[in-house]
C-alpha cells in the first residue's frame, strides 16, 4: 500500500530496514522490537482519541481502548511488583517532568547525577527544563567512575532536596538503590528511580529492583524492555505510604497536566512487550545481554582499551579514549559508522572536552536480540579496537577554525581507509549469520 501511495517515504523506510539488517547496532538505548509489537504500533488504534483514563474518558467509543490500557497497567503492576502504573507518557522526558509536576513546586531543590558523569538531561542538567524551573544540585562520580555517595550525602544534608533521582544514561555499574534510600530517607526527600536503561534487566532478574527502596519509578519502554517508544510511571508501596495521594497526583500530572490524548497504538505495543517480558525466554535474554556485555568489556580490555570503572555490570560499556588524546569520540564514532558498527560518542567523567567528548558508549541489547553471544562479542571487540587504532593519531584542535578543518580532513581521509572497508565486509558477513526481520 505505502509503496504505491508514497514511494519516497516507502523507499526511506526500506533503506532504514536494510541499514538495521546490515549493521551492528550497539547504541545501548536502542533495540529491535518483535514483529508483534510492530503490528500493534501500526494498527487502527492510532485512529482513536482517548483523553482521560480507563472508564473515565472525555470521548465515546473507548470500550476496547480501555481494555488495552488496563491490560498494560495490570501487566506492568504484576511484572514490576508496584502499586500503581501510568502507561500514558509519550516518552521518558515527559514522564520525568510529570514526576516533578506531581511532587514539586517551581524553585524546589532537586538532585540528580551530573550529565557529564553519566546522568540524564532531565535529572537537572543546566540546559534542561528540570534546572530552569527547579534548583538543581548535581552529584558526581569518584575518580574511579563509581557514584560518590559521601558527596551525595553531604549535598543532601546541606540542601534538603524535595526530590532525588537515582538512575543514569551512561553508568556501567549496578545501581545501589538501598544507598540512595538511606540518604533520601534522612532528608525526607522523594526518591525516584529512572530505570529507562535497565528495566528489562530488572524484570529479567539480572539487576536488583528499586521497588523496595524508592517512592516512584520512571522508565522508557524501548531499551532493554524491548518495546515501543513510550514510557511508564510507577508508584511503589513505599511511595503510597509516604503519600497516599501520590498515584492520583501522578495521573493528574500526566493528564491533564502535561498531555492530551494518549498514543493508544503505543500503549498496545507496551502491553505486548510486557507480556513478552513475562515469559521465561525473556529472563534468558536479559541474562545473555549482561553476559555479552561482560565478554565485550573483557576483550576490549584485553586489547588494551581503557574502560570507565574498568568494566560493566549491565548492558553497556563506556570506552575512555583519553589515552590517545582528548576529544576523539567523534572520530571513533564516525569511523565505526563507516565500518557498520553503530555506537555513540559520549562524555566520560571529568571529560576535558564536553562538546567534543572523549568517550564511546557501546551496548549489547540489540546484538543479543539478534541471537549473538559471547563468541561474537569478542569478534566485535576486536573490530572496534582495529577501527580505533585507525583513528587514534587524529588530533582534535581546541580552536574552532582548526577543529573544523581537522574534522573535514578526517572525514575525507577515513572514507578511503582500507582497514575500515575490510571490517565493513566482516560486519556484513556477521549480520548475515544473525538475520533480522527477514520477512519484511
**Distance of CA 119 to CAs 97, 216, 378, 407, 430, Å?**
15, 18, 28, 28, 33
Cell output for 55: 472508564
Q: Which residues are catalytic?
A: 49, 51, 194, 220, 223, 229
d(CA 311, CA 117): 16
d(CA 141, CA 113): 8
d(CA 360, CA 133): 31
Q: What are phi and psi of 135, to 5 degrees?
A: -85, 100
Cell output for 99: 514526576
Contacts 24+ apart (CB under 8 A), 412-421: 414/331, 414/334, 414/335, 414/338, 414/390, 415/338, 417/335, 417/338, 417/390, 419/386, 419/387, 419/390, 420/335, 420/338, 420/339, 420/387, 420/390
**Degrees (nearest 5) of the Cα angle 422, 427, 432?**
130
CB 87 within 8 A of CB 101: no
d(CA 32, CA 224): 10
d(CA 329, CA 394): 11
Residue bearing cell 580532513: 409
Amino acid at each position: 500500500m505505502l509503496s504505491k501511495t508514497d514511494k519516497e517515504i516507502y523507499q526511506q523506510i526500506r533503506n532504514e530496514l536494510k541499514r538495521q539488517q546490515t549493521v551492528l547496532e550497539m547504541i545501548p538505548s536502542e533495540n529491535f522490537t518483535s514483529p508483534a509489537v510492530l503490528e500493534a504500533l501500526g494498527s487502527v488504534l492510532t485512529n482513536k482519541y482517548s483523553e482521560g483514563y480507563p472508564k473515565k474518558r472525555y470521548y465515546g467509543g473507548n470500550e476496547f481502548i480501555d481494555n488495552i490500557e488496563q491490560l498494560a497497567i495490570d501487566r506492568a503492576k504484576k511484572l514490576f511488583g508496584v502499586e500503581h502504573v501510568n502507561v500514558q507518557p509519550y516518552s521518558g522526558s515527559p514522564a520525568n517532568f510529570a514526576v516533578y509536576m506531581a511532587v514539586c513546586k517551581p524553585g524546589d531543590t532537586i538532585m540528580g547525577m551530573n550529565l557529564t558523569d553519566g546522568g540524564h538531561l532531565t535529572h537537572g542538567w543546566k540546559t534542561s527544563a528540570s534546572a530552569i524551573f527547579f534548583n538543581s544540585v548535581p552529584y558526581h562520580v569518584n575518580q574511579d567512575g563509581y557514584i560518590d555517595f559521601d558527596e551525595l550525602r553531604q549535598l543532601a544534608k546541606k540542601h534538603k532536596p524535595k526530590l532525588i533521582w537515582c538512575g543514569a544514561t551512561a553508568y556501567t555499574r549496578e545501581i545501589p538503590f538501598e544507598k540512595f534510600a538511606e540518604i533520601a530517607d534522612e532528608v525526607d526527600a522523594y526518591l525516584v528511580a529512572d530505570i529507562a536503561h535497565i528495566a528489562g534487566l530488572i524484570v529479567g532478574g539480572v539487576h536488583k529492583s528499586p521497588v523496595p527502596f524508592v517512592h516512584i519509578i520512571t522508565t522508557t519502554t524501548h531499551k532493554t524492555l524491548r518495546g515501543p517508544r513510550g514510557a511508564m510511571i510507577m508508584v511503589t508501596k513505599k511511595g503510597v505510604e509516604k503519600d497516599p495521594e501520590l498515584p492520583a497526583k501522578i495521573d493528574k500530572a500526566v493528564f491533564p497536566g502535561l498531555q492530551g490524548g494518549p498514543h493508544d497504538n503505543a500503549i498496545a505495543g507496551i502491553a505486548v512487550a510486557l507480556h513478552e517480558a513475562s515469559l521465561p525466554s525473556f529472563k534468558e535474554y536479559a541474562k545473555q545481554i549482561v553476559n555479552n556485555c561482560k565478554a565485550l568489556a573483557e576483550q576490549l580490555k584485553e586489547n588494551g582499551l581503557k574502560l570507565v570503572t574498568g568494566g560493566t555490570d549491565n548492558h553497556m560499556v563506556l570506552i575512555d579514549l583519553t589515552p590517545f588524546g582528548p576529544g576523539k569520540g567523534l572520530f571513533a564514532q564516525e569511523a565505526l559508522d563507516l565500518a557498520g558498527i553503530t555506537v555513540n560518542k559520549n562524555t566520560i567523567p571529568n571529560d576535558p572536552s564536553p562538546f567534543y567528548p572523549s568517550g564511546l558508549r557501546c551496548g549489547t541489547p540489540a546484538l543479543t536480540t539478534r541471537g549473538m553471544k559471547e563468541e561474537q562479542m569478542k569478534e566485535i571487540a576486536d573490530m572496534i579496537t582495529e577501527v580505533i587504532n585507525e583513528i587514534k593519531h587524529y588530533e582534535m584542535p581546541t580552536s574552532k577554525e582548526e577543529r573544523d578543518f581537522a574534522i573535514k580532513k578526517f572525514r575525507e581521509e577515513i572514507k578511503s581507509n582500507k582497514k575500515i572497508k575490510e571490517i565493513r565486509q566482516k560486519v556484513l558477513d556477521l549480520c548475515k549469520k544473525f538475520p533480522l526481520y527477514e520477512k519484511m
